[in-house]
Structure 1
């Protein structure tokens, strides 16, 4: 698998170099982007921007998951809670988190709070639905069998429902992670003084394409690393499950 990843990377870089050398589009070459990355790292800008964006993503993402999982379990396990909460979840799911950014800035200011809030919202809405779906998808035969054996609801929830719904939860976590990165970039484009989105905006103002590419690639690398961490956690938590 790693060998195929390396082949894909080499092929992608070669295709990028070919396209730029032919002058098909006005993109910077891989060498120009690499030189800009070295300059940004040397000046400390890339590291500070990456850390700023990463801190926002991690804060909003972790808060979103921490709230989404118990709310999703609550909705899936108790029909009353589902009837009370689900309409609000579905309502806000139809509103893109990016559309909340102007309102968040007006009501919360231009500090870190509105940025973290919209990231929290993006992670929460995807993860809560996945968790809810995981709970209601648990095989009722397993639950009934546990009850026949004398297990109480708390034991059934802990030993049957949580393990069976974990694969669904991890899918929601992965989707929420991607939504968090997309949201933080948009938030930084609108109101920020640091971050990879802010740096891309600066590159746009001065038509500095290498700066934009360096920020884009950095976002992709950070997102890929975080996604691989989530996948590793998923494999550990669902080791009992048969996978292809």
Structure 2
């Protein structure tokens, strides 16, 4: 390949992704329209009907309020899960006695779905924001803890011994050996926790909220508005896609020195 050909190849590759995304989107819309034609509007709202319902809900502010409410709950609970889960995972990964003490509880609670605690969350924290945020935190923290522990335990013991032989203290070992190994696992945990947060917010809002995408979907179901239900579902997917993209971009740029690629 000559020097003049290299930029052309790079340009073709840069154009390839948007074309593939556009083709994928058109194919998805075609399948969606076909399903709507087969099953009818009573079961599957068509893309046109969904767009029309989207405009209807956006015009009266229902959709905007729902997006803001759900996004706020997800972000607060998710961030709380990260802030608690990462230090806990580092501590459990580095100190065996702490891991031995806490691991049974982690293994017990992580298999209990958040929806089973919805009623208790409402009783304990009320029907306000706290109950939803606590459920998001619950669904996020165990994922972060387990992935952080996995990152710590994956560190080669030779690196730890080499750092100790060079006179590195605990803080220096944590900074220069442990964190570079753990950061990629934490980023992966953050993405997984974000996905689980979207799964949890719907069930939480259905039971204990008047505003939010979950509440919108449930209310639409009660009124028999399948097109509104599809608006809520599509909005959740788009919102999750955007959140994940932003997280990937921020993580890649902010943690470049740790060679994070997501």
Same topology, TM > 0.5: yes
Which residue of the partner structure matches residue 241 of structure 1? Answer: 259
Q: Within 5 Å, which residues of 2 pair with 1:7-86? A: 7-23=23-39, 26-86=43-103
| 8 Å CA contact 2:251, 2:260 repeated in 1 | no
Q: Does 1:201 align with 2:227?
A: no
Q: Quick one: structure 1 residues 180 and 243, their matched pair in 2 at CA, closer, same or farther if it must change by over 3 Å?
A: closer
Which residue of the partner structure matches residue 225 of structure 1? Answer: 242
Deviations 1:49-72 (A, max 9, x none): 100001111111111111000000
Consecutive aligned runs of 4 or more in structure 1 exceeding 4 Å deviation = none
Greater shift, 35-44 or 145-154, is seen at 145-154
Give the alignment's TM-score, normalised by structure 2: 0.88
Give the alignment's TM-score, normalised by structure 1: 0.95
**Number of residue-to-residue matches in the alignment:** 244
| 8 Å CA contact 1:167, 1:234 repeated in 2 | no
Deviations 1:88-127 (A, max 9, x none): 1111112111111111112222111111101001011111
Q: CA RMSD in A?
A: 1.7
Give the Cα–Cα distance (whole angstroms) in 2 for the partners of residues 223 and 21 of structure 1: 28
List runs of 5+ in structure 2 lacking aligned partners.
1-16
Q: Does 1:2 align with 2:27?
A: no
List runs of 5+ in structure 1 lacking aligned partners.
none
